[in-house]
Amino acid sequence: MAAGATYEPIATTTVSGGSTSEVEFASISGSYTDLIIVGNLGAATTSYMSARFNSDTGSNYSVTNLSGNGSTALSNRATSRSVADISFEVTAGSTINKNFIAQIMNYSNSTTYKTILSRINNAGTGTSATVGLWRSTSAITNIKLYSSTGNGANLYNFTSGSTFTLYGIAAA
């Protein structure tokens, strides 16, 4: 097999002309093994970034998070949530941009639950690593990202200049 690109860009969204409380990737093809979302969040006042798959608002998500800022370390775990957390910030309200990467494994597999591994970095407030689980065997065809205070409450906005790129990992 000839060598090719591993990450194939599927869609990119840049918030412009104001702000928005959610970003959506719709009609996602099932032709990849995994999905990767990479982004840079503008200077928003947020403590969480969450995801919802296929518009599932049921209590089908769980999360474990580790975060730290150089002097304080935190961890938390939650089950029966209505969203999957992509990030948890040590200090909310920072005006420093944040970058993140989220990996969604086996997103098109129809026999397993979906695992999400993510990391967000903020030079001003620290870093966080999160593992999430969507307890559904449905293939993921739609992803909505929310800037929130946790459990999907749309209380904050992604600011102008925030970018989000969805990649598909090509099958070997």
The model's pTM is: 0.87
**Burial, 31: exposed, middle or buried (Cβ in 10 Å; 0-12, 13-18, 19+)?**
exposed
Residues 43, 95: contact at Cβ < 8 Å? yes
Structure tokens at 39: 């982004």
Position 146 pLDDT exceeds 60? yes
Total residue length of the chain:
172
What's the farthest any 2 CA atoms get from each other in the chain?
Answer: 49
Tell me which of 131 and 1 has the higher pLDDT: 131
The candidate with the shortest Cα–Cα distance to 97, out of 149, 159, 23, is: 159
DSSP 5: -
Question: In this predicted structure, what is the pLDDT of residue 2?
Answer: 47
Tell me which of 36 and 84 has the higher pLDDT: 36
Question: In this predicted structure, what is the pLDDT of residue 90?
Answer: 45
Element (H, E) at 147: strand 143-148
Cα distance between residue 97 and residue 126, in whole Å: 12
Q: Determine how many CB atoms are found less than 10 A away from the CB of residue 131.
A: 16
